[in-house]
């Protein structure tokens, strides 16, 4: 194949799809120049639900491009590369699988699809020798996928620490700046368009978990079962937790941590975490994303940028389109990711160790601290501090928050102790646990 114009099938024409259209309309000539005149990209088919809907795009989209059947797009001989932007894991799976089998490279930003069904899709990619590119699936406009895959190819990756969900970072930021409750900050995010009507996956940590899984798959090369990842979201964070973190020199962030242990075992967890204020991750505010990477050769680095939005995501899709186009012009150069390691295991969350912040909801009576402290001591868990914030609205309340800061220990040991503590009469609900990260 040696034509200089390559046809793009855009499956999905919402925010990101029309961002891709606009970017190609605005900067397509730059791409052609920068590839030495080698590559011109032209959208030749667009899959939409309703062709009659009016759309605001850079330059008018010819009505003849629209189709409502994905099979028409995939089978169109004028479509050489397929961009999957319809979301979900069922139709999107069929569409991507069919495109790969037709030897049409796929560009997608669908992190749920790859996290849940990547094993199947990468197998089809290998069989058909046709790549899947997914820069847009992790951290929007930040080129972290290509960085790990190509720029750090000579590195054993020691760890990732990432703020990779802009919605939850915005919410935590507003709770920090304006002492808003979680509910009020979420409502603000929704009003500004930073959170969807159903924000579940953003606030419960699973969106970040899908992205962390993809980073780990890239770095360690073996298939990972999402069900085995420990995920906890930001729904239980209160302004008091954030204020307390601040008083100790920390900022509270929803952190995705991926870390290599011995014997090809990998730790992956997503949890609200205390990040030292001096660490560069603590400066990542608003809807921005950042991923800190520690490679054995490159050392520490950090990649920061817009984690979502029309244009940043389109920027990553377009970069992948150029990569796919280059490969199409040089048959056999499969530069997409393929799992390269047969085996590897996840470290059970019980065996992962950090220090902890634990908030107990207790009945205020003498002896409460003693009882909790005794059970922690029974489990040989060290206490570095305790604190009970006075509720200024109700200083004589019977039910109060009691905070314990605990030394580093395996999470499983902490869970065992907390199960016993939760059974105490004076403890009224399941304790809330955040991590205290010793980022270097």
Does residue 35 touch its own copies according to CB under 8 A? yes
Min dist CB 176 to its own copies, Å, is 14
Binder among 12, 17, 23, 114 for its own copies (CB under 8 A): 23
Binding of its own copies by 226 (CB under 8 A):
no
Q: What single-letter DSSP state applies at residue 64? A: G
* 158 lies in the site for its own copies, by CB under 8 A: no
Least distance in Å: CB of 54 to its own copies?
A: 24
Give dist(CA 339, CA 345) in Å, integer: 14
Q: Is 193 in the site for its own copies (CB under 8 A)?
A: no
Please tell me whether residue 135 binds its own copies under the rule CB under 8 A: yes
34 binds its own copies (CB under 8 A): yes
Question: Computed from CA positions of residues 366, 371, 377, 381, in that sequence, does the dihedral angle turn out positive or negative?
Answer: negative
Other CB atoms within 10 Å distance of the CB of residue 438:
12
Residues 272-301 contacting its own copies, CB under 8 A: 280, 283-284, 295-301
131 contributes a contact to its own copies by CB under 8 A: no
Q: Could you give the CA distance from residue 412 to residue 428 in angstroms, rounded to a whole number?
A: 22
Task: Count interface residues toward its own copies (CB under 8 A).
Answer: 61
Give me the 315-344 binding string for its own copies, x by CB under 8 A, dash otherwise.
Answer: xx-xx--xx--x--xx-xxxx--x-xx---
Asked if 271 touches its own copies (CB under 8 A), the answer is no
Nearest in space to 305 (alpha carbons), one of 141, 156, 172, 72: 141
Strand partners, 436: 274, 355
> In the complex with its own copies, which residue's Cβ is closer, 7 or 205?
7
Asked if residues 299 and 130 have their Cβ atoms less than 8 Å apart, the reply is no
Q: Are 92 and 84 in contact (CB under 8 A)?
A: yes
Pairing of β 250-260 and β 230-231: unpaired
Q: Where are the alpha helices (DSSP H) in 275-407?
A: 310-328, 368-378
- For the question of residue 277 being annotated catalytic, the response is no
Residues that bind its own copies (CB under 8 A): 19, 23-24, 26-27, 30-31, 33-36, 135, 141-143, 146-147, 149-156, 221, 280, 283-284, 295-306, 309, 311-312, 314-316, 318-319, 322-323, 326, 329-330, 332-335, 338, 340-341
User: Which are the catalytic amino acids?
Assistant: 211
């Amino acid at each position: 194949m040696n034509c200089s114009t390559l046809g793009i099938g855009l499956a999905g024409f919402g925010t990101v799809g029309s961002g891709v259209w606009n970017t190609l309309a605005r900067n397509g000539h730059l791409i052609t120049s920068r590839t030495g005149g080698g590559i011109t990209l032209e959208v030749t088919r667009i899959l939409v639900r309703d062709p009659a809907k009016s759309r605001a795009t850079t330059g008018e989209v010819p009505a003849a491009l629209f189709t409502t059947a994905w099979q028409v797009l995939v089978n169109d001989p004028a479509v050489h590369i397929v961009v999957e932007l319809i979301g979900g894991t069922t139709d999107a799976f069929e569409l991507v699988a069919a495109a790969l089998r037709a030897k049409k490279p796929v560009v997608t930003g669908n992190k749920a699809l790859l996290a849940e069904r990547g094993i199947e899709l990468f197998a089809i990619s290998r069989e058909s020798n046709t790549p899947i590119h997914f820069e847009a699936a992790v951290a929007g406009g930040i080129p972290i996928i290509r960085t790990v895959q190509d720029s750090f190819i000579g590195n054993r990756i020691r760890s990732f620490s990432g703020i990779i969900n802009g919605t939850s970072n915005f919410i935590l930021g507003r709770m920090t700046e304006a002492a808003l409750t979680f509910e009020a900050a979420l409502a603000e995010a929704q009003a500004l368009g930073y959170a969807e009507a159903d924000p579940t996956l953003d606030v419960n940590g699973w969106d970040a978990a899908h992205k962390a899984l993809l980073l780990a798959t890239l770095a360690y090369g073996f298939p990972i079962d999402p069900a085995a990842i420990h995920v906890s979201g930001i729904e239980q964070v209160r302004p008091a937790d954030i204020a307390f973190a601040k008083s100790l020199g920390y900022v509270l962030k929803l952190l995705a941590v991926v870390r290599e242990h011995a014997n090809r075992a990998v730790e992956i967890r997503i949890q609200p975490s205390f990040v030292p204020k001096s660490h560069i991750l603590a400066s990542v505010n608003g809807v921005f994303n950042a991923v800190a990477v520690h490679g054995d050769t490159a050392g520490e680095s950090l990649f920061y940028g817009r984690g979502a939005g029309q244009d940043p995501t389109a920027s990553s899709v377009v970069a992948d389109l150029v990569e796919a186009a280059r490969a199409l012009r040089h048959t056999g150069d499969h530069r997409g990711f393929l799992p390269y390691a047969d085996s590897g295991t996840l470290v059970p969350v019980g065996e992962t160790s950090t220090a902890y912040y634990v908030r107990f909801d207790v009945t205020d009576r003498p002896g409460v601290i003693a009882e909790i402290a005794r059970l922690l001591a029974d489990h040989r868990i060290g206490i570095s501090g305790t604190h009970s914030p006075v509720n200024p609205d109700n200083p004589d309340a019977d039910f109060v928050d009691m905070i314990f800061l605990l030394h580093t220990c395996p999470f499983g040991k902490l869970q065992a102790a907390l199960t016993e503590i939760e059974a105490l009469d004076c403890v009224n609900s399941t304790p809330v646990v955040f991590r205290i990260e010793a980022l270097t």
